[in-house]
Amino acid sequence: MVAPALRVAAAYGWRLIVVGVAVYAVFVALGRFHLVTLALFAALVLTALLGPPINLLHRLMPRAAAVAVALVGSIVLLFGVLSLIGATVAGEWQGLRREFSGGVARIERWLEGPPFHLRDGTLAHLQEWVSRFVSSHRGTVISTALSGVDRLVEALTVVALALFCSVFFLHSGDRMWQWFGGQLPSAGRPSVHLAGRTAWSTFTGYTRGIVVVAATNAVLVGVGLFVLGVPLAVPLAVLEFFAAFIPLVGSPVALAVAAVVALAAKGPVVAAVVVLLIVVIGQFEGHVLHPLVMSRAVRLHPVVVALAVVCGAVTAGVLGAIVAVPLVSVLWSVYGALRTRRGSVAATR
């Protein structure tokens, strides 16, 4: 006779296996069509961000005109930021080269002293080794550059598809969802509509919240680097903005790049101040911004967030790390809403 505990464990075991196989199949399917998946995700992000301003514009003009104005304005804003970055880099390039040359020499002298005691000319030998490596692998570098052209074509395709889908999502997303619900059996429609509303509320809350957090971090970093006189303050602030979309690890990596630039251009004292700035911004983000802005959208333990980021990065690289946390948040919120509904239905019977 089988023990009751073993019977319960077996029942849970085969259910977990089925769920694991289903999740794996979904990830395999998404991997097969990763460009389409990425385009749809980008379209949903655009829909979540541009929905409120389009609703405001819709009070003054037709819905189609409001969508067109919002999308064109977003594209103009993006190209304006890119132009500002290019102009900043071009304007500071000559002075930056001189500062970096002196900064590399200072770093080399610092590494030659205690506690590292590197041999004289170690960095110069390293530079020569990199040059020889690039020269000997020139064919590989060229082929990689050519494959980058294919990547560029894929990126442009994703952008075009994302814009195409976002136009319809923004213009008639509610009607599309109602049509989809109308194709389902009547008994399952309430649960599907509840799951859809919960998922979209969580996704929009997360997307808008992470944009607020990223923009705040970027402004703080840009102002701090500008006050300290660190070159490329605007590009580094933009790097911090995009890096903040990767939870836990994005901001520290971007700020570490800023610290390296400060070390090479301004010396160890300014670099130490930048490191202190990293700590202060990290504490402000973790204890003020995230609880204030993201608490309603993401109710996940930091361990769950860390595991989601690592699993997403292992599965699909940087894009997987970006998508993992909103995906887990949406799934968890949908599960909670459906569980609450089942409890309330059972209580009324």
pLDDT tens, position by position, 184-211 = 888 778 888 888 898 898 899 888 888 8
User: Is pLDDT at 39 greater than 70 in this prediction?
Assistant: yes
Q: Is the domain of 193 the same as that of 336?
A: yes
**Domain assignment present for 197:** yes
Cα distance between residue 230 and residue 250, in whole Å: 20
User: Is pLDDT at 130 greater than 60 in this prediction?
Assistant: no
Q: What is the pLDDT of residue 169?
A: 92
Q: Is the domain of 274 the same as that of 315?
A: yes
Q: What is the pLDDT of residue 103?
A: 60
Spatial contact of 244 and 214, defined as CB atoms under 8 Å apart: yes
Q: What is the pLDDT of residue 239?
A: 84
**Domain assignment present for 72:** yes
Q: What is the pLDDT of residues 312-335, one digit of tens each?
A: 777 767 777 778 888 888 888 888
Cα distance between residue 235 and residue 222, in whole Å: 9
User: Is pLDDT at 137 greater than 60 in this prediction?
Assistant: no
In this prediction, residues 44-73 reach a mean pLDDT of 91
Q: How many domains does the chain have?
A: 2
From 55-59, 82-86, 294-298, the region with the lowest mean pLDDT:
294-298
User: Is pLDDT at 283 greater than 80 in this prediction?
Assistant: no
User: Is pLDDT at 165 greater than 70 in this prediction?
Assistant: yes
Distance (Å) of CA 238 to CA 49, 93, 137, 276, 307 = 18, 18, 33, 20, 26
**Please, what is the end-to-end C-alpha distance for the chain in angstroms?**
36
Enter the pTM of the model.
Answer: 0.75
Q: Is the domain of 231 the same as that of 340?
A: yes
Distance (Å) of CA 268 to CA 75, 200, 264, 272, 307 = 39, 47, 8, 6, 34
Q: Is the domain of 206 the same as that of 300?
A: yes
Q: Is the domain of 101 the same as that of 223?
A: no
Confidence category of residue 346, pLDDT binned at 50, 70, 90: low
Task: For residue 300, report the phi and psi dihedrals to the nearest 5 degrees.
Answer: -120, 145
Q: Output the average pLDDT for the chain.
A: 78
Q: What is the pLDDT of residue 347?
A: 65
Given 137, 152, 183, which residue is the final one in a domain?
183
Q: Is the domain of 208 the same as that of 328?
A: yes
DSSP 183: T
Q: What is the pLDDT of residue 22?
A: 73
Q: Is the domain of 148 the same as that of 255?
A: no
Q: Is the domain of 112 the same as that of 202?
A: no
**Domain assignment present for 19:** no
User: Is pLDDT at 69 greater than 90 in this prediction?
Assistant: yes
**Domain assignment present for 178:** yes
What percent of the chain is predicted at pLDDT more than 90? 10
Q: Is the domain of 90 the same as that of 61?
A: yes
Q: In terms of residue numbers, what domain contains 174?
A: 31-183
Nearest CA to 163 out of 78, 243, 247 is that of: 78
Q: Is the domain of 232 the same as that of 287?
A: yes
**Domain assignment present for 45:** yes
Helix pair 189-228, 34-58: axis angle to 10 deg: 90
Confidence category of residue 66, pLDDT binned at 50, 70, 90: very high
**Domain assignment present for 7:** no
Task: For residue 110, report the phi and psi dihedrals to the nearest 5 degrees.
Answer: -65, -40
Cα distance between residue 346 and residue 96, in whole Å: 68
Cα distance between residue 124 and residue 52, in whole Å: 55
Q: Is the domain of 265 the same as that of 332?
A: yes
Q: Is the domain of 155 the same as that of 201?
A: no
Q: ω before 302 within 30° of 0 (cis)?
A: no
> What DSSP letter does each residue of 188-252 carry, written as one string?
GHHHHHHHHHHHHHHHHHHHHHHHHHHHHHHHHHHHHHHHHT-SSHHHHHHHHHHHTTSTTTHHH
**Domain assignment present for 61:** yes
**Domain assignment present for 103:** yes
